Amino acid sequence: MSFVEYGDTIKDGDTAIVFLGHESMFPVKVQHGTVTQTKYGVIRHSTDLIGKKYGSKVTCSKGGWVFILHPTPELWTMNLPHRTQILYSTDISIITMMLELKPGSIVCESGTGSGSLSHALIRTVAPTGHLYTVEFHQQRAEKAREEFREHGVEHLVTVTNQDVCKNGFGVSNIADAVFLDIPSPWEAIGHAKSALKAEGGRICSFSPCIEQVQRTCLAMEECGFTEINTLEILLRVYNVRTISLQIPDLGKAAEDNSSTGFDSSNPSNQGSPCTNLQQGAVQFKSSVPLKEMVGHTGYLTFATKS
């Protein structure tokens, strides 16, 4: 099983996603002799999972059922264990595009955190690219290495436990892009410039506070970066649902129909406004924004090494 190569069959040791519904799913490590409890009953890994195809509908012990999905970076972002605050798909998508990443790209990242962005970067640069990710916290770095190994992507990533602001990324003049998600990114701009290739590399810094953005932009200018710009991505979700509204009383519709020669039995007149008026209500599809939605996540500052 690999997050960058699709596998057809569930195997012992795989990480799979148990899908109960769009708002309810969780990851599970498949192991012989292990069981997983769900609200629909027990899933026995040896008989219900191993050997089955990804996407299979599995019946639980209480008669309910779930789907078993192959993991992807998108599903992992929604279900990973949080060791830090993570980046979600809205910001991840613009980061991978604005950094101009593609298969074969070399990327430096700090800090690794819970690995949400890391998995997306690895999938984007695979199969010939590489991710160098730096994490200041030792336990988080070790856990990231373990997850990358379990997810079959350890050959595409190098995890380093050090302070990027003091020691840099451990590479020089090879990176196509650098991503910073640290409390004081302005202290790492010089190391980022050293890690980037000689000309044309891109850098992105994620910061939740505008004061951090201001200091980072000043540091980028001092280091000779160009095309500096900051943006913020705000996601607004709409629910599509059926709305039923009463039609206002505009007069005697029946008399108007008779006076104009309207024949409701005529097939050509079926579905006309007059027919709807006699029904008293009309149904239609409408998009309604959520009452509560995610607002500010952070500011993304991009620049290019000249």
CA distance 74 to 168: 29
List of domains in the chain: 9-71 (3.10.330.20), 76-234+296-305 (3.40.50.150)
Q: What is the mean pLDDT of each run of 10 residues along the chain (306 residues)?
A: 90 95 92 94 95 95 93 95 94 97 98 96 97 97 96 96 96 97 97 94 97 98 97 90 82 56 53 51 87 86 96
Whether residue 145 contacts residue 120, with contact meaning beta carbons closer than 8 Å, is answered with no
CA torsion, ordered 274, 275, 280, 281, to nearest 10 deg: -100
Contacts of 44 (CB under 8 A, 6+ apart): 35
114 is in an annotated binding site: yes
Residue 224, pLDDT score: 96
Whether residue 210 contacts residue 174, with contact meaning beta carbons closer than 8 Å, is answered with no
263 is in an annotated binding site: no
244 is in an annotated binding site: no
CA distance 167 to 286: 55
135 is in an annotated binding site: yes
In degrees rounded to 5, what are phi and psi of residue 6?
A: -75, 135
DSSP label at residue 248: P
34-42 long-range Cβ contacts below 8 angstroms, 24+ apart = 38/64, 38/66, 39/64, 40/64, 40/65, 40/66
292 is in an annotated binding site: no
Residue 268, pLDDT score: 54
Residue 1, pLDDT score: 79
147 is in an annotated binding site: no
Please tell me the pTM assigned to this model: 0.84
Residue 276, pLDDT score: 45
